[in-house]
Amino acid sequence: MLLGAFSPSLVALWLTARAEGSTGVRALLGRVLQWRVAVPWYLFAVGYIPVIKLTVALVHRVATGAWPRFGDEAWYVIPLAIAFSTPFQAGEEIGWRGYALPRLATRFGLARASILLGLIWAFWHLPQFFIREVDTYGQSFLVFVLQVTALSVAMAWLYARTRGSLLLVMLLHSAVNNAKDIVPSSVAGATNTFSLNASLVAWLTVTFLWICAAWFLARMPSRDLPELVRTRRHSSVGPT
């Protein structure tokens, strides 16, 4: 788990140091502290997943006549957990959104890059579906891929709108990890990782994530990307 959580950024820093030296490393790390963005983007980062999950609960109630299972965690613990967990998301986000996304966007455009990176990001997590102590054990990996790819689109959109702030995507990543179980999607006793057997909550979550992702993709910058989202042509020549 620790290897999976930190190696994307360690590799990104190594590749950046090799290609661009200490100046490139400082520029990459500087985006972790890029906090001067408008307040609505902070609200989006923190509130995106709770709004999705509460909408899912409401639709579940209307469709079935019963509320879905809600998480046991006290609501006031979630903001504290998000704040505490945000710095640790640098272990992945320096690698995914800080290093990989700009280079993929240069080659494929930001919209397609966000989907491609989402698939890479999802498959990076495949081993945790076979670790018994992890809450994804035995759950549908295919549904997970759909969810994570849609989240990758939202993160790329946020990244572009905040001119490359890694802090904001780290905050969104932390909110996903700590607020997703407001309305849990997991199926108790699931054992078939590669099936499509998932709860109604999981499928509703996929649906609403992709409705939002479609909106983001339609408005994703394709030309004249913010300078921090673009990478210089020569920086993509080396190994990625």
Q: What is the mean pLDDT of the chain?
A: 91
In one letter, which amino acid is 121? Answer: W
Collapsing DSSP to helix, strand or coil, 221 comes out as coil
Largest CA distance in the chain: 59
Nearest to 235 by CA among 91, 94, 104: 104
Residue 37's Cβ-count burial label (10 Å; 0-12, 13-18, 19+) is middle
Lowest mean pLDDT among 53-62, 131-140, 218-227, 231-240: 231-240
Q: What is the pLDDT of residue 135?
A: 87
What CA–CA distance (Å, rounded) separates 212 from 210? 5
Per-residue model confidence as pLDDT tens digits over 131-176: 988 889 999 999 999 999 999 999 999 999 999 999 999 999 999 9
Look up tokens 């100046």; give the residue.
23
In angstroms, the Cα distances linking 208 to 182, 222, 225 are: 16, 24, 27
